[in-house]
Amino acid sequence: MTDRFYVRRPLYPIVSILAALLTLIGALALARSVWGTVFVAAVFVLLCLFGYASICRKVLPILLLYVGGFSLIFYLASGGNGVFAWQMANRLAGVGVAVLPGLAMPPVHLTRCLTALGCPRLLTLGMLITTSFVPVLSGEVRQVRAAMRTRGITSIWNPAAFYRAFLIPLLVRLVNISDTLALSVETRGFVGNSGGYTVYHPVRLIGKDLCFAGLFLVVLALGVAAPALGLAAPVQGVLA
């Protein structure tokens, strides 16, 4: 999770988490019918309409490469079974689209939401640290690699260079970050009990979130009801 994928006005965190979970479940459940493809595409369009167009545009080439590459692998591994490859493509696309709401949500946004809902502070702080660790680790790796290039070390595939010039400096920097984090938490008077506290920038459920949730549930309900109503042909029938 990096800040370049964050959107200006993300959905309410609980709505984002539930939408991601239901997208994954819906894509897996509907993968054997044409509606699986329609469902994933509809969720992708909904995200674009509700403020996620920028991240969708950035992720779309990666998503197409990811789905296309693995689908080709499944196609070849199954002996040219196009039906199986399409079903797997539906599942893979569902996983990719389900990641988008969480990828675009700043960790502090989720922490403020959970804090306002009365979740234990140890839990919210742990989630904030965990979700913020990936971009911090990425930045530290870039700095260590830059220091290696400055010293004339251009490759880390050499075991001695990897250990002495990359691994040891990275571990030392991470230990220093953990010490600084522990000191900053203690300095700010953090306590683990549920005493009184306030959220400076509260995260509230607004009409946009309710509208997205309603449309999402409509799309999901149509996908679930389509086979019973005879509106969704199986993938085999389309490829036949």
Q: Answer yes or no: is 199 within a domain.
A: no
Per the listing, tokens 């946009």 go with 208
Residues 13 and 104 reside in one and the same domain: yes
Residues 7 and 104 reside in one and the same domain: yes
* Structural domain range at position 210: 3-108+204-239
Q: Answer yes or no: is 214 within a domain.
A: yes
Residues 138 and 218 reside in one and the same domain: no
The span from the CA of 235 to the CA of 240, in Å, is: 9
Is residue 192 predicted with pLDDT exceeding 90? no
Residues 126 and 181 reside in one and the same domain: yes
Number of structural domains (the chain) is: 2
Q: Answer yes or no: is 195 within a domain.
A: no
pLDDT of residue 232: 55
Reported confidence tier of residue 146, pLDDT bands at 50, 70, 90: confident
Q: Answer yes or no: is 114 within a domain.
A: no
Whether this prediction's pTM lies above 0.85 is answered by no
Write out the two tokens for 94. Answer: 């569902």
Residues 34 and 75 reside in one and the same domain: yes
Q: Answer yes or no: is 146 within a domain.
A: yes
pLDDT of residue 212: 93
Residues 94 and 29 reside in one and the same domain: yes
Residues 12 and 48 reside in one and the same domain: yes
Residues 72 and 19 reside in one and the same domain: yes
- What sign has the CA pseudo-torsion 74, 77, 80, 84? negative
pLDDT tens digits, one per residue of 1-11: 456 677 778 88
